[in-house]
């Protein structure tokens, strides 16, 4: 006998959106030729992971510029490709989320204002801090850096989200747009 009754359709599994996490690249990026042993490089990699967990804890306040610089330097300095990151903050400048939005090449990353606004709204941010690294090690902002920062500031202003700063992380130094009056 053939069963002609219809079976209820099962709903497809719901996709959950994954929040981008920092790219952990391992000990190779931390290793400096002939200066560190494999064990030392592993220890530094573990220390970096601990610092990122402690600094990136939701609710942590980013009121002090030095705390922001330390976190972003640990996060971005050892990377060999340009990464563009956004810190989403609440009204009291406490961390809601830290998200790498764009990954580029050794000399640039394409940043799309629409995606930045969507991310800030998704996290219900009242303010944001942008950061990206310069794998060349030079922390000076380019004209393209200044232009995209203005475009992002203007786009986020339309939805009442403040851009507090944009920091560029180089090798051993950082550059703050807010301190230079570029915001």
pLDDT digits (tens, 9 = 90+) for 83-93: 999 999 999 98
How high is the pLDDT of residue 26? 37
- What are the tens digits of pLDDT across the range 139-170? 899 999 999 999 999 999 999 999 999 999 98
How high is the pLDDT of residue 67? 77
Pairing of strands 127-133, 162-169: parallel
How high is the pLDDT of residue 73? 83
How high is the pLDDT of residue 121? 96
Low-confidence residues of the chain: pLDDT under 50: 1-34
- Give the global pTM: 0.69
Q: Report domain 59-176's class.
A: alpha beta
How high is the pLDDT of residue 88? 92
List of E strands, the chain: 83-89, 95-103, 127-133, 162-169, 174-176
């Amino acid at each position: 006998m053939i069963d002609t009754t219809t079976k209820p359709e099962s709903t497809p599994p719901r996709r959950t959106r994954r929040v981008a996490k920092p790219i952990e690249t391992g000990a190779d990026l931390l290793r400096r030729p002939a200066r560190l042993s494999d064990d030392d490089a592993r220890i530094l990699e573990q220390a970096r992971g601990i610092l990122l967990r402690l600094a990136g804890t939701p609710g942590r306040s980013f009121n002090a510029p030095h705390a922001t610089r330390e976190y972003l330097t640990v996060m971005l300095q050892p990377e060999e490709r340009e990464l563009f990151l956004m810190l989403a903050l609440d009204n009291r400048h406490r961390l809601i989320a830290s998200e790498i939005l764009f990954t580029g090449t050794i000399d640039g990353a394409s940043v799309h204002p629409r995606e930045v606004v969507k991310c800030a709204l998704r996290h219900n941010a009242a303010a944001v801090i942008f950061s990206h690294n310069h794998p060349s090690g030079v922390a000076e902002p380019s004209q393209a850096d200044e232009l995209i920062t203005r475009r992002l500031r203007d786009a986020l202003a339309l939805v009442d989200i403040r851009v507090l700063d944009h920091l560029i992380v180089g090798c051993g130094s950082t550059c703050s747009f807010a301190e230079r009056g570029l915001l």
